Amino acid sequence: MEKNEKLQSLRHTLAHLLVAAMRELYPGAKNAIGPAIDDGFYQDFDLPKSVSEEDFPKIEKKMREILKTWNTFDGREVTLEEAKKEFSWNEYKTELIEEFAKDGKKITFYTSGTLVDLCKGGHLENPNKELYPDCFKLDRVAGAYWRGNEKNKMLTRIYGLAFEKKEELEKYTEMREEAEKRDHRKIGQQLGLFTIAEKVGKGLPLFTPKGALLRELLNDYSQLLRAEKGWQKVWSPHITKNDLYKTSGHWDKFGGELFLVKSQETSDELVMKPMNCPHHQQIYASCPHSYRELPIKYMETTTVYRDEKAGELLGLSRVRCITQDDSHTFCTPDQIKQIFQDLIDVTKTFYSAIGMKIRARLSFRDPKTPEKYLGENDLWEKAQTILLDIAKENKLDYFEAPGEAAFYGPKIDFMAIDALGREWQLATPQLDFVQPKRFGLTYIDQGGKEQTPVMIHFALMGSIERFLSVYIEHTAGNFPLWLAPVQIKVIPVRTNHNGYTKEIFEMLRENNIRAELDDKDENLGSKVRDAKTNKLPYWIVIGDKEIASAKVTLESRDAGTLGQMSKEKLLKKLLEETKKKK
């Protein structure tokens, strides 16, 4: 058994162990589902009484007691009647059993100790010997609707953390504690970057002047890098007829996630746009094209809308309004590699500038479930081979991930690694042979024949909101000079120093340095603390000595006191660092 497979089996086993403990401690407890997850496991329960984290020590103690008796984990196939009889007391298991039978799936029970549970398998064969009793801990309690449907009953979800060894669990716990300190929601509030107002709605963040500036600085750089490679700006409206998405295939796949719009003037069925690609295809289709014009490159930073479930919304990382720095390219097959080369160059430059390492996930179709994807098999094989060749030729640090493709084509998902070692999917170039054909897009080739162009989707940050959630946590709010909404604060020691201080402040502002003047009649210590609390890259303190020498004393967030320097040297330093994106 491979290491990752063993870890998943360990976590899955612990989910069952939690069931056994809960059913002993809370007679009448009904377990629903309980899978392994990235850092452990969870189990959903319908409980006769509420459970809190204060109950975890006794639950963990019971789990460890039961673990001593679990020397096997045996599975057997059962009939529908046997299964329904065994779980006649549990409507959640009964629902699953009937569903499995209807779909023609095998119904299997797994037994360890006195526990019998409905499960498809994937456990440790001898939990008592293979599972260290100190490699797991219960983590938190949450509410979860049965089957994720808000119309169903709210169940109690108990999460647990689990690793193969105690040391790995402790290391992960320490990392997560640091992650909690870096929570983008806390830092966003502390730095005054964004807010979420109840009267506006969940998943609909509002950005303050500082937060909006941060967004714009990132987007300006994203657009600059793509413009240098030939992408041109286009614009599309925020609502559209749903026919557009029926043609593209999005309606059948994601129709339940769309916001519907009702017109008072027309019978057209309208939706808030959930993505931009069909719009850009209509711009392409507005006039005939020759192979001489290709590649045609469009880019648009715009907000799209998806009706995410309320329970899944989280700060900026999961929202209902998603601003994409989107790009779509229409090209001939022999231009694919060059387009991808340009996009890879843009991605490397951008993520190097923001200080994040990246590796590539080749997101391919799952060959076991071809029905989930649009398009012909040979086109998929061709597209995936092209991406694999591109990854090898560019010497990317890559890995293949079957099942992670978009429904219309394979893609390269660039995974950014943050300061805590966590991976996040951000930039994504996607190859698409399907949608251009569905929309009847064409160009005239060298022989005068109509051909279907290849479409390449690309987003450098993906969702700007989600990107910011990652980046704020990566930097802990310590933004580099070029991105800091306020780059430097100018602080007079006392009010009689205000004249020279304002002179320095005006010089900085005239040279497009984002400076802030703190001439409030407060003590110096509080002004400096404010600069530190707001994580400003620099601040200047001006007192008698500075005025006498016609210099300034520069303090750095990252390097401490940098000493006195002339105002000309200060300006040169700030401009050079901003230009070099330090």
DSSP string for 40-68: EEEEEEE-SS---GGGHHHHHHHHHHHHT
H-type alpha helices, 277-370:
277-284, 336-353
Say which of 324, 384, 435, 487 is annotated catalytic.
324
Pick the last residue of a domain from 429, 448, 475.
475
Question: What is the C-alpha to C-alpha distance for residues 469 and 483, in angstroms, rounded to an integer?
Answer: 15
pLDDT number for residue 1: 42
Instruction: List residues bridging with 210 in a β-sheet.
Output: none
Establish whether 229 is a catalytic residue: no
Residues 256 and 341 in one domain: yes
Catalytic one of 139, 326, 418, 432: 326
Under the banding of pLDDT at 50, 70 and 90, the label for residue 376 is confident
Mean pLDDT, the chain, as a whole number?
A: 92
The reply to whether 83 and 156 lie within a common domain is: yes
Binding residues: 277, 328, 457
Contact 219, 324 (CB under 8 A): no
Q: Which of 411, 474, 497, 527 is catalytic?
A: 411
Q: Is residue 102 part of a domain?
A: yes
Instruction: For 535-545, give one letter per residue: b (16+ CB within 10 A) or e.
Output: bbbbbbbbbee
pLDDT of residue 405: 86
Domain boundary among 149, 181, 213: 181
Q: Say what the pTM is.
A: 0.83
In 10 A of CB 568, how many CB atoms?
9
In a domain, 482, yes or no: no
DSSP 370-411: GGGS-S-HHHHHHHHHHHHHHHHHTT--EEEEET-SBTTB-E
514 pLDDT higher than 90: yes
Contact 99/129 with Cβ under 8 angstroms?
A: no
Q: What is the CATH number of the domain that holds 538?
A: 3.40.50.800
**Residue 2: predicted pLDDT:** 53
Q: For 239-335, where are the alpha helices, taking DSSP H only? A: 243-248, 250-254, 277-284
pLDDT of residue 262: 85
Same domain assignment for residues 446 and 535: no
End-to-end, the C-alpha distance of the chain in Å comes to 46
State yes or no: is 328 an active-site residue: yes
Q: Cα angle vertex 91, ends 85, 94, to 5°?
A: 50
Q: Residue 192 domain-assigned?
A: no
Confidence band of 78 (pLDDT split at 50, 70, 90): very high
Q: 409 near 434, Cβ under 8 Å?
A: yes
Q: Which of 123, 273, 306, 318 is catalytic?
A: 306
The mean per-residue pLDDT over the stretch 112-129 comes to 91
pLDDT at 219: 97
In a domain, 20, yes or no: yes
| pLDDT reported for residue 37 | 93
pLDDT band at 3 (very low <50, low <70, confident <90, very high): low
Kindly state whether residue 191 falls inside one of the protein's structural domains.
no
Identify whether 189 is part of a domain: no
Whether residues 496 and 470 fall in one domain = no
Is 326 noted as a catalytic residue in this protein? yes
Q: Is residue 420 part of a domain?
A: yes
Same domain, 315 and 428: yes
Is the residue at 212 inside a domain?
Answer: yes
Mean pLDDT across the stretch 311-327?
Answer: 92
Tell me which amino acid residue 166 is: K
Q: What pLDDT is recorded for position 538?
A: 97
Give the residue numbers spanning the domain of 370: 199-475
Q: Residue ranges for the binding site for Zn(2+)?
A: 277, 328, 457
Report the range of poorest mean pLDDT among 373-387, 442-456, 493-507: 373-387
- Let me know if 457 is a catalytic residue: yes
**What percent of the chain stands above pLDDT 70?**
99
Highest mean pLDDT among 262-266, 431-435, 561-565: 561-565
Q: Is residue 189 left, alpha or beta, with left meaning phi > 0 and alpha meaning psi from -120 to 50? A: alpha
Domain shared by 422 and 492, yes or no: no
* Catalytic hit among 30, 280, 457, 527: 457
Same domain, 108 and 34: yes
Please indicate whether residue 411 is annotated as part of the active site. Answer: yes
State residue 4's pLDDT score: 81
Over range 23-34, report the average pLDDT. Answer: 95
pLDDT digits (tens, 9 = 90+) for 362-375: 999 887 887 777 77
On whether both 379 and 275 belong to a single domain, the answer is yes
Number of domains in the chain: 3
19 and 136 within one domain: yes
Q: Diameter of the chain by CA atoms? A: 94
Q: Are residues 110 and 38 in the same domain?
A: yes
Of 157, 226, 328, 497, catalytic: 328
